[in-house]
Amino acid sequence: MLRLMILPQTKILAVGQIKESCILEGMHEYLKRMKGRIEIVEIKDSTKEKESIEITRKLEKLDRFLTVALDEHGKEMTSLEFSEFIKNNFNKNLCFIVGGPDGLDKSILEGVDHTLALSRMTFTHEMARLLLVEQLYRAFSIIDGKKYHRG
Amino acid sequence: MLRLMILPQTKILAVGQIKESCILEGMHEYLKRMKGRIEIVEIKDSTKEKESIEITRKLEKLDRFLTVALDEHGKEMTSLEFSEFIKNNFNKNLCFIVGGPDGLDKSILEGVDHTLALSRMTFTHEMARLLLVEQLYRAFSIIDGKKYHRG
């Protein structure tokens, strides 16, 4: 009997298009290195309220996904702790949610499984998206025992 | 009588050259917007020990500078707290120190006035330098009452 193994998915649900070509270039480099492990789904930027309706609609389609929203008041982790988090949820579908310039609506932040802060500082949402992709690459590298992570 | 007003300086003492053209481009954009308020002094990357000798040599020449080293175990601040820090030290010469891929030597971290963590996560040293420049621009924008900072 042929068994189909369905690999868990990792998605990034992000508000707005990245306009900065350099940020796009950096992201594509990490995405390429992760060989299709990560899929980015973009939502049109609008008012926070409309964005949250659209995010909720997308999340409803993503049944059985563990949801992690980026928020500056969220939980902070070191890169090693983040890789542990990814490792501990390796058999689950993961969905990270990144807001636009004004961040995510309270309704989204209250509805997700986890909130994560990349920093206590405010970064541009474009930079935040690039940093998240880099941290995912770093986490996979740590899990796979690759030499990328130092410190 | 002509009085010369000497404006305080802000320097970034950084280990290694930035190789990523996009990071360089991003940094130059923020530096341009800050109209010469920030000067970057680069130190050749080498062993941590040699780098620290070179950093110490440079710092000795920078008498009466308040020194702030970037370190992932350093103090975390929000962007508003960082702008307060800059504002409170507005009449002082400031020198930020950013290490290379292996970070800064203990001797440097112990000798500086402050340590600052951009995040609990580990970022590449190139990204850390760009983020620092962006946070300085954000801090100046907050102090100057410009609309750049949100959230």
DSSP letters, A25-77, are HHHHHHHHHTTTSEEEEEE----HHHHHHHHHHHHHHSTTEEEEEEEEEEEE-
| Per-residue pLDDT, B2 | 64
pLDDT digits (tens, 9 = 90+) for A105-128: 999 999 999 999 999 999 999 999
Instruction: Please check whether residue B107 touches A, CB under 8 A.
Output: no
Whole-number Å distance between alpha carbons of A103 and A75: 16
> What residues of chain B lie within 8 A of the CB of A16, using their CB?
none
Of A79, A120, A127, the CB nearest to B122: A79
Q: Where are the domains of chain A?
A: 10-143
Confidence (pLDDT) at B63 = 86
Was domain A10-143 assigned CATH 3.40.50.300? no
Q: What pLDDT shows up at residue B68? A: 98
Element housing B52 (H / E): helix B48-61
Query: Which residues are registered as beta bridge partners of A116?
Result: A75
The residues with which B114 forms a beta bridge, in sequence order, are B68
User: Rounded to whole angstroms, how far apart are CA atoms A42 and A57?
Assistant: 13
Mean pLDDT across A42-56: 95
Written as six digits, the tokens of A140 are 């996979």
> Does the reported pTM lie above 0.90?
yes
The answer for residues whose C-beta is within 8 angstroms of residue A151's C-beta and 6 or more apart is B72, B102, B103, B122
pLDDT for B149 equals: 82
Distance from CA of B145 to the nearest CA of A (A): 16
Average pLDDT value for chain B: 93
pLDDT in tens, A56-81: 999 999 989 999 999 999 999 999 99
